[in-house]
Amino acid sequence: MTEQDEILSLRTELHEHNRRYYVLHQPIISDQKFDEMMRRLQDLEKMHPELDDPNSPSVRVGSDLSDDFKTIKHKRPMLSLANTYNEQEVIDFYNRIKEGLKGEPFQICCEMKFDGLSISLHYEKGCLTRAVTRGDGVQGDDVTNNVRTIRTIPLVLPPDLDYPDEFEIRGEVIMPFAVFEALNKERLSRGEQPFANPRNAASGTLKNKDARVVASRGLDAYLYYLLSDELPFSEHNKNLEKARQWGFQVSTATTLANNPEEIMHFIKQWDEQRHDLPYATDGIVLKVNSLDQQRSLGLTAKNPRWAIAYKFQAEQVSTPLREVTFQVGRTGVVTPVANMDPVLLAGTTVRRATLHNADVMNALDLHIGDNVLVEKGGEIIPKIIAVDKSNLPLQRGPRVAFPTHCPVCGTELVKNEDEAATYCPNDQCRPQLLGRIEHFISRKAMNIDSLGPEMVDRYFSSGKIHDPADLYYLTYEILCPPAYDLFGVPIPDNRDHLLEKKILQGIQASKSVPFERVLFALGIRFVGEIAAKILARNFKNIDNLKSATVEQLLELNGIGLVIAQSVINFLNDEANLQFIQRLREAGLKFELSEQSQVEQSDRLKGKNIVISGVFQQHSRDEYKTIIEQHGGKNVGSISAKTSFLLAGNNMGPAKLEKAAKLNILILSEDDFLQLLQ
């Protein structure tokens, strides 16, 4: 067998093993054997880029191609469903159908309503050709590369099955609870913001620009709607049954109901049983089963008349309140947090709930030891709805009061009449100082990822750093001071202190972070990423920004009075100016680079450019921006489609070799900048 044939046969076999594993749950080979075949396929594919196939099973591992999403118009608009919340509204829906169908008999297909994000998949001759998000219903994002990494979505259907040449199948991309919890745990340990709920996590993941990240996140999908000019059946449920035979994951939790009682029975049954499902559901979808009847009922402006969603009531549980703690954040806002006995709620264990602010907390009239009713609405962070009055202890504990003084530094707290938040006004309060450093190093700010919250805490506690500017004055000697024995003789140190070296490198590297992110990193209240970008682009440097008036700031789209006032206050404070001065002296960027100020051009239009190595004149991120500004596309890995390689120092030999093998042009930093002039 030639290598080319081997590639083709490995692809067919691996598709089939994927289907057996993920859809049928009946694998016939060991994981080890599967991995072995996959590795062989990957090796062969590397040697034969001419046989590149976007539907190869190897894309499940995720390619490192990064892609901005194209907007694509849906072939058939993706409508949403009207919602109902109680039995009467379901009966009203049923009666509307009955009336619309003028007495014809009809059946309602009842299905789970998956809580994720809807996706439209297109297949041509059994191959996945396109995956598009719902977007605004008329057009959505092309997320094909990312969807290809979802293992339960078949890339290629087995040959010889009776699917139409062209069809679309819609469904929901979801993140199972277990995957969601593990992901959030990992994010928290890295000091990143956790996702609010599995739906947000699924959506954030599917919109990630790096398919490798998507591949690693364990997304899943359920399909619930088949569309084609040549559908196999004229009944919705039979079409879904067919789709299951073709290899799609279709839920078996469905039924055909003949009357409103049967619908309500299904709803009640799943309102209880859904808690045993490994993924989030937020209701039941009811669809007229006959496609002819669907057509005759038609659509309203926004929704089909033939379907409706019944939304479950959010689940509530009762659990004793043990303590309320008061957390001080980076900006000094004090947030009350309820700590309760752990209780299982909508698939996850709940221990803590935010009480938001003093007004919300006081309105609840909480006493320690009270049973409180906890609910999870759309968000994963649970809410305390009320004290469970039906289940109060005989002797109520002490009433929870909002403190008058900061629980950390003891300063008297401040609450403005027109604001919900209560503040600790002492900007030297430990959690504020630590919070400012953590914000400064976070990914979207200076991105010093070698330095996590734990190390920040350690360096802060040992007095090595007090504010973010101190980071730039750290040295190897400060981080790894020599130890002395009792006689004052230095103890030889054989450790390699890799972590400290990495931290120092990360701090150095952050000096090339562009101005807009430095501005965000400063932690000016209300100045988020977007506001920072707007300010940087318009004022170009910190001195211009410092001399801006409120009126000038308000002229900018996206900058309102609260932000404008906050910027002016911050830049008129002597301590902040000194802080900025120290950062400036350390070499951070306080003006837009020339490259980001240049007019955009389309000199790199249609070019796929790979960046590799270490650069002298601009950072990698800056080069990415420059490429985009000139209409080019930065891609992650070299393939036959790469236009050229922008090569810095210390490039990996594998990349160089691959570029040479595929005859790809290699440009140095100077060549590249010259090209743009």
Residues that bind ligand IVH (CB under 6 A): 79-81, 111-114, 118, 134, 172, 224-225, 285, 304, 307, 309
Roughly how many angstroms between the first and final C-alpha of the chain, as a whole number?
A: 51
Helix (H, G, I), strand (E, B) or coil at 577: helix
Q: How far is the CB of 166 from ligand IVH (least distance, A)?
A: 19
Tell me the CA distances in angstroms from 218 to 118, 122, 210, 223, 346, one per residue in order.
17, 22, 14, 17, 20
Give the separation between CA 641 and CA 400, rounded to whole angstroms.
64
Candidates 70, 98, 113, 302; catalytic one: 113
Q: How far is the CB of 83 from ligand IVH (least distance, A)?
A: 7
Helix (H, G, I), strand (E, B) or coil at 430: helix
The nearer residue to ligand IVH, 9 or 80, going by C-beta atoms, is: 80
Q: Which residue has the tokens 């594998």?
A: 654
The nearer residue to ligand IVH, 236 or 589, going by C-beta atoms, is: 236
Q: How far is the CB of 252 from ligand IVH (least distance, A)?
A: 13
Q: Is 113 a catalytic residue?
A: yes
The nearer residue to ligand IVH, 94 or 310, going by C-beta atoms, is: 310
Burial status of residue 607 (CB atoms within 10 A of its CB: 0-12, 13-18, 19 or more): middle
Please check whether residue 358 is in contact with residue 415, taking contact to mean a CB–CB distance below 8 angstroms. Answer: yes
The per-residue DSSP string of 51-112 comes to G--TT-GGGGG----B-PPPEEE-SS------EE-SHHHHHHHHHHHHHHTTT----EEEEE
Q: How far is the CB of 293 from ligand IVH (least distance, A)?
A: 14
CB atoms within 10 A of CB 24: 10
Q: How far is the CB of 259 from ligand IVH (least distance, A)?
A: 21
Q: How far is the CB of 199 from ligand IVH (least distance, A)?
A: 10
Q: How far is the CB of 647 from ligand IVH (least distance, A)?
A: 45
Please check whether residue 461 is in contact with residue 434, taking contact to mean a CB–CB distance below 8 angstroms. Answer: no
Pairing outcome for strands 117-124 and 127-133: antiparallel
The nearer residue to ligand IVH, 63 or 294, going by C-beta atoms, is: 294
The nearer residue to ligand IVH, 168 or 438, going by C-beta atoms, is: 168
Nearest in space to 326 (alpha carbons), one of 318, 317, 336: 336
The nearer residue to ligand IVH, 118 or 197, going by C-beta atoms, is: 118
Element (H, E) at 46: helix 31-47
* C-alpha radius of gyration, the chain, whole number: 29
Please check whether residue 583 is in contact with residue 576, taking contact to mean a CB–CB distance below 8 angstroms. Answer: no
Q: What is the 3-state secondary structure (H, E, C) of 267-336?
A: HHHHHHHHHHCCCCEEEEEEEECEHHHHHHHCECCCCECCEEEEECCCCEEEEEEEEEEEEECCCCEEEE
Which residue number has the CB closest to ligand IVH? Answer: 118
The nearer residue to ligand IVH, 171 or 648, going by C-beta atoms, is: 171
Residues with catalytic roles: 113
